[in-house]
């Protein structure tokens, strides 16, 4: 409430001023502190910048023409894939044939943590998994140029009690749990998403992987504690690779399910329904499992062989050190270093050497 000073209340020395009541002042102070705490705790929070119109910048003529050349348009549906190890974000666009084609790959400036999913708020880990990005997850006034929220924690993450907030794909090339792009890169990605929504598409799918889900890459990381999770999301990766259309995803029995043969949302911890049969996927998974087992076995043998070679090298090194240590003891060194080498003391003078010309 705003009011003029009342002389009877001790404000006579400030004539003409409008003062804020003490209660309102306290409320404003609390609000400022709350905002400060929110900013300090958020991973990649965003703020409104008055008068900034960067979110409405149109796509360049080159981008529009590139989309037209591949049989798509700015208003068509899209899909985004992220690969941590390769530091790449891909934008795929639906074409006139109904399938998706890769439009462009963008370099990721930075992401936080290591390969593997995010578990809790503050672990500075960038998430992995599948999400559905809706217009409400766009951040047109981000403090990191432009951004969209990854949707973490999604249904899978919540089912496992995982926590985190404000996990974004944004600009500014700086990450504390987010995927940071160049400002130019995120501006184009944001505009592609914005125009896709303007075209009547209600969402786009975001797929985040630790690396390209090949058997060779999985074999390299076969000892990872995240292997079961990675094999789970690999099913969605394989389906998209085979069909070039985004698979429907949900969560049941605490895991991702792709293309379930049912309608309506599933209980994240309830039983899983059957999935829509895909003979090509079944054949690929069987072949990949056999290859992965073989590659993992070969990788383990190589690891064991390297360990044996290192052990043998260490043993030889110790033997050589012991040999020269023994010689050193004979020539003034410390013979006590090796308990098997004893000095010989007879009490008799050593004999003189025989002259060379007198030797037989």
Catalytic residues: 170, 178
In angstroms, the Cα distances linking 76 to 90, 210, 254 are: 16, 28, 33
Q: What are phi and psi of 163, to 5 degrees?
A: -130, 155
DSSP state of 3: E
Q: How many CB atoms lie within 10 A of CB 270?
A: 11
Long-range contacts of 304-312 (CB under 8 A, 24+ apart): none
Which residue's entry shows tokens 């054949």? 283
8 A C-beta contact, residue 138 and residue 148: yes
8 A C-beta contact, residue 210 and residue 194: no
* CA triple 316-319-323, angle to 5 deg: 140
DSSP state of 179: E
Q: How far apart are CA 307 and CA 156, in angstroms?
A: 39
8 A C-beta contact, residue 148 and residue 46: no
């Amino acid at each position: 409430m705003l009011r003029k000073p009342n002389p009877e209340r001790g404000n006579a020395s400030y004539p003409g001023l409008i003062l804020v009541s003490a209660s309102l002042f306290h409320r404003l102070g609390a609000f400022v502190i709350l905002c400060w705490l929110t900013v300090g705790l958020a991973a990649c929070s965003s703020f409104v910048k008055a008068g900034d119109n960067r979110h409405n910048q149109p796509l360049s003529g080159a981008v529009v023409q590139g989309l037209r050349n591949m049989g798509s348009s700015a208003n068509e549906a899209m899909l985004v894939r992220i690969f941590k190890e390769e530091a790449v974000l891909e934008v795929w666009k639906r074409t006139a044939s109904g399938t998706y084609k890769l439009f462009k790959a963008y370099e990721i400036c930075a992401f936080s943590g290591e390969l593997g999913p995010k578990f809790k708020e503050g672990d500075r880990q960038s998430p992995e998994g599948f999400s559905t990005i809706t217009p409400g997850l766009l951040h047109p006034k981000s403090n990191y140029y432009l951004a969209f929220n990854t949707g973490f924690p999604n249904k899978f993450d919540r089912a496992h009690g995982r926590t985190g907030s404000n996990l974004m794909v944004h600009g500014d090339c700086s990450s504390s749990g987010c995927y940071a792009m160049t400002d130019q890169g995120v501006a184009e990605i944001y505009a592609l998403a914005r125009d896709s929504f303007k075209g009547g598409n209600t969402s786009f799918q975001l797929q985040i992987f630790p690396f390209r889900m090949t058997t060779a890459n999985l074999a390299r990381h076969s000892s990872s504690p995240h292997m079961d999770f990675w094999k789970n999301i690999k099913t969605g990766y394989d389906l998209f690779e085979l069909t070039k259309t985004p698979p429907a995803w949900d969560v049941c029995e605490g895991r991702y399910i792709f293309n379930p043969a049912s309608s309506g949302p599933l209980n994240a911890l309830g039983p899983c329904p059957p999935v829509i049969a895909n003979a090509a996927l079944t054949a690929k998974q069987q072949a990949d499992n056999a290859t992965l087992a073989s590659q993992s076995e070969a990788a383990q043998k190589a690891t064991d062989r390297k360990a044996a070679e290192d052990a043998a090298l260490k043993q030889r090194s110790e033997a050589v050190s012991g040999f020269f240590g023994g010689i050193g003891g004979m020539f003034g060194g410390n013979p006590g270093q090796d308990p098997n080498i004893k000095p010989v003391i007879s009490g008799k003078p050593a004999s003189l050497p025989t002259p060379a010309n007198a030797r037989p």
